[in-house]
Every structure is written in C-alpha cells, then in structure tokens.
Structure 1
Amino acid sequence: MSVRFLSYGRQAIDEADIEAVTRVLTSDFLTTGPEVDAFERDFEQVTGAKHAVACANGTAALHLALAGLDVEEGDVCIVPTITFMATANAVRYCGGEVVFADVDPDTGLMTRNTLADAMARAGSDVKAILPVHLGGQSCDMAAIADLARESGARIVEDSCHALGTQRSGGHIGDGKFCDAATFSFHPVKTIAAGEGGAITTNDAELAETMRRLRSHGVTRNREEFIGDPQEPWRQEFHELGWNYRLPDINAALARSQLSKLGAFATRRRELAALYDRALPRLGEHVRPAGRLPEQTPCWHLYIALIDFEALGTTRTDVMNALCERGIGTQVHYIPVHSQKIYEDKGAYPGAAQYYARCLSLPLFVGMEDQDVHRVARALGDVLGLKAL
C-alpha cells in the first residue's frame, strides 16, 4: 500500500467548517454581510487588539495598512530580504521605495542591528518598518520598536506566519509594538479562509480609513457628503480605494477555523517538538532553525538548516529525492533583493547564510507523530546519514 504524500503545509477542514460555510450559502448575504463583522469581533478577542479589519488576503492587508498610514510616492520603507514578495511589493503599490534589511543567519529574522544598518543606508527619513515574523517565530519587537520610535518611523508587523504566537507581555497582533499587524488565511497558514486576510490596530482612525479603502474608498457618512444628503441612494468616493473586501463565505470559514486556533497551535507545537528531538540525531550538519527566547510560537513552518555543501549534496537533489519518497518540502524564501524587479546588488551576508541552508519540512495539523519520524528517516537516508 502506498503512503500518503506529505505536503509542506495544508489546511485542516472538518464538518463544523463545512456547516459554517453552508449556513452562509443559504443566507441572504454572500458578501458584505454580518459574518465579516462577527469574524472581526472574534479576531479582536483572539489577538487582544482594539480593532480588526478583514480583507481579501494577506497582500491586501499589507497594502491597506501602508496606505492607511499614508505611505506615498518616494517614502522609504524597510523590509527584511527574507520574506515573501508581497511584503516589499506592498510598499511599491503605494509608490514607496524599499530598502532591504539583512537578517540573522540562524533565524531568518530582522534584528535591531540589521534594522539599524538598513536605516543608515536609507540616507533619508524612514516612513515605515515592516518586520516579518518567519515561520511562526516573532522578531524581537521590543528592540525593533525602540529603534523605530527614535526615528519616528511607523511599524507594520507582517504577522502572516504568526497567528497564535505568544510573546513576552502579549500576543502577536495586540498592537503593543506596532501601528498595525497583518495576517493571512491562505490554506497553508494556521487558519484557512480559502483566501483571506486581516489587519489589527489600536488606532480607531486608522481602522476606519482601512475599512473605507478596502471598499473602493466609499463613504456613506451623510455629514461628509458634498451632494444632497437627503438622496437615499447616495454614496460618495472621496479617496482612491480598492475592492479588497472579504466575502462572508470566506469569513464564515475563517471564523470557524479561528475557534480551533488553540487546538491547532497545540498540535503544531507538538509536531515541532518531535522534529526538534529528531533532527539533532542526524548530526552536526542538520538542525532546527534558531530560536529566540521569551516566546511561544505557533509554528506555521518547520524550517531546518542543512549544510548541503558539507554533506556533499545540493538542496535541489535533496528536495527531489524526498519528493520521490512522498515528502514535499519548500524554501522560505529566496531573498527578495535578488529578484529581478528589485535587483539590489548589496551584500546581505546573514540572508545568504540563511538561504543557503533553509528547508521547510512538512508541518500541518493533520500529520501524525509517525509522519515526523518518517520525514526524519527519509531526510537521513537522502543525506546519507544515520541517526545517532
């Protein structure tokens, strides 16, 4: 009997999720209805933020947050080079200029020192800083926020990997260290909406601005109208916005999934702990990515650091061999500064070291304990290593 293929990540859908979506499908509202409001209230409770703004996806969340903070043509924003393209691209959507920051070679995370270096290279005032929480682990936001506040820069935490992560003094998304935090509910993330996103903030005015911008910039506030406020059909557009709304169908799925966040986080931590015990047995050239203290991540990814060169192989060969054994892997991420649309020729030694070694192994709620052992054994076989 063939074994099932283990992708690096996948959704976990149950009958409660199906019932939630079915309920909306048989209701009066498929979009712009009550389910989005209910999801936003639930998300505020989970994150501890005062305001949550649901939207179409994590990329839209980043764009809305930056636009709401008035990032405009020529504004400089700092982004770590180890991230998905959307973090940097959202700056460009607003007309801003991206300056890349290096990362720690073992965690892949922006640090206070790499941020300070990027700010020095920026050569002008920095409008916003976008720390990225990679794989579920948070940057040291106390240190980053301290430096950002000294310069007057705004902070948007890219938290798309880190819903459910706890850190000293609170939760990701609570707004303690940032102006806004963004989230994604893509199927490989901790909770799934099909596609979906959200922004949290403690700034009521920013939240209201983002709500307008997600729906074409429309206002129905009669006190703001320039036309006849007595016209019952009147709606006005005073600023440029987008169609970044989250349909009620997706919100219903996300809301049902959110109710299981605690169980999802627990299982992901259990699976990560099994990997943590298994990988060191393969020897000094295979180990988990580095960890920061004083936090309890909800692991979105399980990232291993493998010295492929020392083991006399390549990542391509390893990934292909694992795939043949029914094990999917991925790389998070190719440094963004090296992509053609940026082509930054600067030196980012931390990112280079991290990128050369990183490999994301399967991690999703539906995995069994034996699946982790299967991955570890297969990895050892492919690398020519025997467990110690």
Structure 2
Amino acid sequence: MIPYGRQDISDEDVAAVVATLKSDWLTQGPAIPAFEQAVMAACDAPYAVAVNSATSALHIACLALGVGPGDIAWTVPISFVASSNCALYCGATIDFVDVEPDTGNIDPAALEAKLIDAERSGTLPKVLIPVLYTGRAHDQARVHALCSRYGIKIIEDASHAIGGSGEGGEAVGSCRWCDIAVFSFHPVKIVTTAEGGMAMTRDPELATRLQDFRSHGITKDRARLVEPDAGGWYYEQHSLGLNYRITDMQAILGVSQMKRLVPFIERRNEIANRYDELLASAPLTRPPLVRGTGAVSAWHLYVIQLDPANDGALRRAWFDGLRARGIGVQVHYIPIHHQPYYQQLGFERGMFPAAERFYNGALSIPMFAAMTDDEQDRVVAAIGEVAGETC
C-alpha cells in the first residue's frame, strides 16, 4: 500500500536518537532548546515553545491569550477537531467561518461578513484560528487586517505548513500576521518528532505564558519569583499549567529532521507539479498551484476534488477502488460541525455550504517527500483505472 503520507527517517536521524538514548538526558535536556532554535531560525521568529503535540500547542495558545468562559473563538469547518476543541478546553464557545471552494482555506469574504454581523449582535470572537490547509497559506494580510479592525487575536493552525511561505515569501511561523502560530510534528507531517508540536510567537510575554502552561505553570526564573530564592532547588507555580512537555528523544529527532526541511519542501513541490501535469486530463479538479506571489505551499496534502453530487457517492467509489489497488487515499476532513458532539452543541448540516461541498468531493492522494516517481506513476495509473470504471 502506498500511504497518503509517510515519515522519512534517515540513518542520521536514527543515530541522533540513539546518541540521546545513551546520554544523560532523555527528557528536559539540551535537545529541546536546540529544536526550538532550529525552528525559530527556519521561520525567522524570536520565540518557540516545543510541546508534546500540536493539540497541546493549540490549547496553551488559547490559554496564553486568556481564552476562557464567556469568550468566543472561530475556526474553519475543514480541519481536524483539535482546531476547535482547543477553545472548548478553555470553556469558550466555538463557531465556524466558511472556506474558499477551491483551497479549503478560510474565506476572507465570509469572515468579513460574519464579523459585521457579530459586531451588530455583540458576539465578536476573542480569537480566530485559521487553518493553513494542506500547507498553503491563506490570505494572511487580509485576515490580519480584518481581525485588527475588530481587536481579535489570531492563532494560526499551521500544523500542515512548516517550511511554507505566504505572499511575498514571508515564512509561515514568522508570526507577522498572527499572535501565535502552531506546528505539528506527527509522522505524516513535513517534519516529524514521532509526536510533537510547537507554538511560535513574536511576543515575549506570550512566550513566557506558553512556557509556563506547558509545564504545570511552574517557573524557576529568579527574576519572577515571589518569595526569596531559597536555593537551586526552588521553584514556584504561578498558574494552573499542564504537563505538555516534549522529550529530548523526540526533540533531537526534530533537530535532525529540520536539517532536511528545505529538500523536503522542494521534493513535495516537485511531486505536486508532476501531479498537476499527469492528472491534467483526468476527470477531477486538481488543487490550485501557488504561482507568482512569492508564496510556497508546504504540500502536506495533495487533495483532488471529484464531482460532489449524490452526497459524495463518486468519492466513495474512488476511495474504495483506489484502496483496492493499493493506493492509500484518505479524506481530509469530515467537517467538524458534522460530528455528533458538535451537533449536540447546536450545529447542523447545511450551516457552512462551501465547506460541505468541499468535503463531499475531497480525496487526498499520496504525497510524501520520499515518494518515488514510480510510486507516483502507480497512483496516476490507478486513478485512470478507477476513473474508467466510474465515469
């Protein structure tokens, strides 16, 4: 089976992890700040806080921005549930903004209309969580301008997008257009630490809060201690934090992986461009390529669109047919507001029509940096076979 995504682990990665296993530090050692420094350098951001998952990073991002009971957060329906769950963990209320029909990213026009209505009704959100779906940056400048107008903070869920850039070549994770950006290092992502995440920011106060929240709310910073420093063992808890710490074993894998971030992104773009050529005559809609703006997609996912008629029946036929041929296609994502839990909160099908139409036709085909041209040719050939049977 050719999977839709797969980690790329080199001999150097293995050697780095083994060396850490033989060192004095398995957790909370020097590999964690080294990993943070590597990501900061890649993103041109001054602060990074590594944690055990992107879900944890989203949670502490909400906490750092003071999201709590009585607050409202908005995100998009086309994402994994973590993008909205993070606000619910804090006791906030969640709502959604519809997506662009071609990219699956937040629709700035829909956002603007929703903000106008929310201002009239007194229901403006405290935070917006746009998702950089598939690794492609949304219209960050426009979204930032809209949120600034209404005093709304931004957490970019950039779980798909490390190594990518927005218009003008601004690195995703630089936080020029947001207060906090979050990365994922799950095995199917661009860079992996097995499990792991990171929160980026340009704000030193937010960085301190993020650091506190990832480790029980505890600090040993002598400049921040309330009581006199009793000795080298002394620490204080200043907030109700969590145990979201990443290990040195994971972090050193991240350090090693980050050395190959540029070739990972280059190869993913090669694969995307080749798909664009090989699938030009297939009965499907290819994802739009990023051209002429200085932006670069990280291409975490390559999502084709099929005719969404009959509530996704064609997509089901393609899914089953390709899986039967050893092509590990997947669907990203079931709209969050379709989930039974969210329907218990009052959401209904039909509320976000562009997201629902996008979902009904979406199919992720294999995309990973280690994918060979022969494997890609197998995927394209299988698509041709299934298309011949179903169209």
Short-chain TM bin:
over 0.9
Equivalent residue runs for 1:127-138 within 5 Å: 127-138=126-137
TM-score by length of 2: 0.93
Is the partner of 1:16 in helix, strand or coil? helix
2:160 aligns to what SS in structure 1?
Answer: coil
Relative to 1, partners in 2 of residues 1:303 and 1:226: Cα closer, same or farther, differing over 3 Å?
same
Is 50-59 or 109-118 further displaced after alignment?
109-118
Distance 1:296 1:230 in 2: 51
Cα pair 1:107 1:291 within 8 Å, conserved: no
The 8 Å contact of residues 64 and 210 in structure 1, kept in 2 or not, is answered as yes
Q: Deviations over 1:105-140 (max 9, x none)?
A: 111110211212333454323201111001011110
Q: More helix by proportion, 1 or 2?
A: 2
- What does residue 236 of structure 1 align with? 236
Deviation at 1:385, TM superposition (A): 6.8
2:287 equivalent in structure 1: 289
Please name the residue that 1:14 is paired with.
10
Contact 2:307/2:314, CA 8 A, preserved across alignment: no
Amino acid at match of 1:31: T
Gap regions ≥5 residues in structure 2: none
SS at match of 1:257: helix
Q: Which amino acid aligns with 1:215?
A: S
Instruction: Supply the distance in 1 between the matched residues of 2:289 and 2:126 (Cα, whole angstroms).
Output: 29
Calculate the aligned-residue CA RMSD, in Å. 1.9
Aligned to 1:378: 382
CA distance in 1, matches of 2:263, 2:148: 36
SS of aligned partner of 1:33:
coil
Q: Secondary structure at the match of 1:288?
A: coil
1:229-271 per-position Cα deviation (integer Å, ceiling 9, x unaligned): 2244322212100011110000000110011001101111111
Contact 2:308 2:357 in 1 (8 A): no
The answer as to whether partners of 1:304 and 1:358 remain within 8 angstroms in 2 is yes
The CA deviation at 1:93 is 0.8
The CA deviation string for residues 185-235 of structure 1, in whole angstroms up to 9 with x for no partner, is 000000110001101110011111101110010021345444452244322
Equivalent residues of 1:303, 1:360 under 8 A apart: yes
The equivalent of 1:119 in structure 2 is 115
Q: CA separation in 2, counterparts of 1:142 and 1:223?
A: 37
Which piece of structure 1 moves more, 349-358 or 338-347? 338-347
Q: Which residue number corresponds to residue 367 of structure 1?
A: 371
Structure 1 stretches lacking a partner, 5+ long = none
| Distance (whole Å) between structure 2 residues aligned to residue 134 and residue 116 of structure 1 | 20
SS, match of residue 155 in structure 1:
strand
Corresponding letter in the other structure for 1:75: D
Match among 53, 59, 80 for residue 57 of structure 1: 53
With normalisation by structure 1, the TM-score equals 0.94
Structure 2 matches for 1:24-173, cutoff 5 A? 24-122=20-118, 123=121, 124-169=123-168, 170-173=170-173
Q: Quick one: distance in 2 between partners of 1:98 and 1:256?
A: 37
Secondary structure in 2 matching 1:304? strand
The 3-state SS of whatever aligns with 2:2 is coil
Query: Using the alignment, how far apart are the partners of 2:171 and 2:265 within structure 1?
Result: 13
- Check conservation: 1:79, 1:88, Cα contact below 8 A: yes
Structure 2 contact 317–390 (Cα < 8 Å) conserved: no
Q: Are 2:306 and 2:314, in contact at CA under 8 Å, matched by a contact in 1? A: no
What residue number does 1:253 align with? 253
For residues 200 and 279 of structure 2, the distance between their equivalents in structure 1, rounded to whole angstroms, comes to 36
Query: Which amino acid in 2 is paired with 1:332?
Result: H
Matched letter for residue 15 of structure 1: D
**Alpha-carbon spacing, 1:87–1:121, altered in 2? closer, same or farther (3 Å):** farther
How far apart, in 2, do the equivalents of 1:49 and 1:385 lie? Answer: 50
Q: Deviations over 1:14-61 (max 9, x none)?
A: 100001101110110101000001111111100011111111111011
Q: Helix, strand or coil for the counterpart of 2:385?
A: helix
